[in-house]
Structure 1
């Protein structure tokens, strides 16, 4: 969202006019297609405060929903196989219409969940569709992984089946864990309540879902959790929306951070994690901001990149920050980070001049790091506990095109991915070697 245009001397009428103009500009800049086989969520958007931002003609819903089938959320059985085929032409038509209105189509963002039927099944169907229809356009995927206490019994099946599609058809994946988001929101609430930061949570803040309610935090404040993911995407796309001395093209992220096609899972960390619409808090010092971005508390998955192996890292900074500030902090942090021997200088940086509203600066760090491996191992273990007993398989296999071999192939794909990370981790303690020099033909 662009910063507010209100100034101290504006009258209420002028302010309303500026807000209307702002909404119009935002609506022109947002090209989104909303797909959900359950009408409820999309209807909430159309009736909520963002109803003027999205085009109501760019919605695809179904009355029955692909999620619940005898209380089980089924992946390919309904979302991928059934609804994907049924709505293919409609999805393609709306995608083409949306793409034609873009002045410069850089990439597609897919935002979906991994555990449910629509998100995992239909979400990855759309990913495959984009590769078929727009093969030259990069595909970025923000995937929300379920927690171990997820209430969807078959979420391990859905997630592993979806992982195979992400391995083969995505260019970059930003994995996000529900448990990590919940921990972050809870931690912010505790710190602000105790006064450790000298800060307070504002009335009606998204941090608590309802003002100053501990019960709301315990019941998982989904608005606040979603707000963190929204801030991630806002920072990621800031260079495409605002000027900067060192703006980074979105395509450069994939080109610089993904040395191997399948190892395209990027760990994201964000500081600050909240907006000033939620919390009154003093700005963090610049060097502290860089340190925060490499701490476990700011990771959007439960991982610790500092003690794992980096393949590459990108720093996207917003605000009044100089290139010299970037270089100084990279040199300061490098000794504590383990990079692969053949890419010791694997840093990509971007500087956007416009900070988030109310902040002096912010930082998004994207790390291609082997620390994602434990998340995948845990997911595989949860999958195998169900699969060894053939539990709930019949809910999937009764749909045409869904065979038991699909499960074997999916878990094999995940195992191969884990093994690739194992091979990289095995090189962690190897001495640094210079890359081989190219021989020039005479």
Structure 2
């Protein structure tokens, strides 16, 4: 028979991207399926949706309508968990039912059900040089602006052996950077005798030329054990710590579990104890009740923390979230003006923070012929094309119009660490100051 060509479109977080990869690999176990990146060749479209913001939800629904005009559609992700009566004529899979993806698609074409078992781990990451590995699912924080905890369920962690097996497979298939992710990754080991730090130590026992990156994590989970394991050479010295607000009053309304002082102390310790450490963050502008003084506190927190990147989100009311019932909504024009001001401050802070790394040698994993990311998550444009998916020691020369330029010095291997080789956290990697510039 003619193979069923499936086109995937994924919106939202790294967890969604992981779930898409898992569905792709399970489809390909059945010879009746083929994955395509060309929309006009697809027989069926799978939309893995996101509803974390109103904008993301609208985009998800827009894509469903668009693909419905082109052919058959199956909807997965968070939208089916939130609501789906308006799309009752379109097949959908709730989050825990995605393992049925094969049979749902086969039924659309009158094909017999698949008798193959469902694979629970991935072996590669379609179209990417970095591989995301989901280590846990679910959240119990219930931040007042967020509905994810209601949709994704209670925290539950994957078995360490299953995770290690998956990572070994990914490494054997050539992946050099493993990004650990989850709905709330700091809750890994929730209710069990393990945590994120102990998992990372087990991963580090795998002898190979790769490094580990931690995805977004809440500040309250940055403890002694995590700081200590992040001192290891193969753990990237970068964290995305979600700030959300610079006001303790607003943080309480958001039901965040830290104060600004605690947040800044975590950032300061991380940067002090781990060489070349950097921090990125997420900030909400215009949360209900946000006054001018709260906004000024936010600007001050950004300046003090010294982020290298900030994701700015205008507040998005989510039906079902506690804050949806809050009064004192901030006018849209005020939100836009605060976004503009915050962006200006962020640009200066980012410029200053990245400028501190000019004249240093860092380890870049190139994801394109002439660009890649350092271990501390600075994107660098390289001075010459090199082979893909390789580590290089790169001298950071200049910063122009928000672009960092670097000079490749030589290839690098994390496998050389045990042999006394040069690394960015070791003093052997000299930081000789050559001519650098910021523009």
More strand by share: 2
More helix by share: 1
Query: TM > 0.5 between the two?
Result: no
Ranked by relative contact order (alpha carbons within 8 Å, sequence separation 6 or more), the top structure is 1
TM-score (norm 1): 0.31
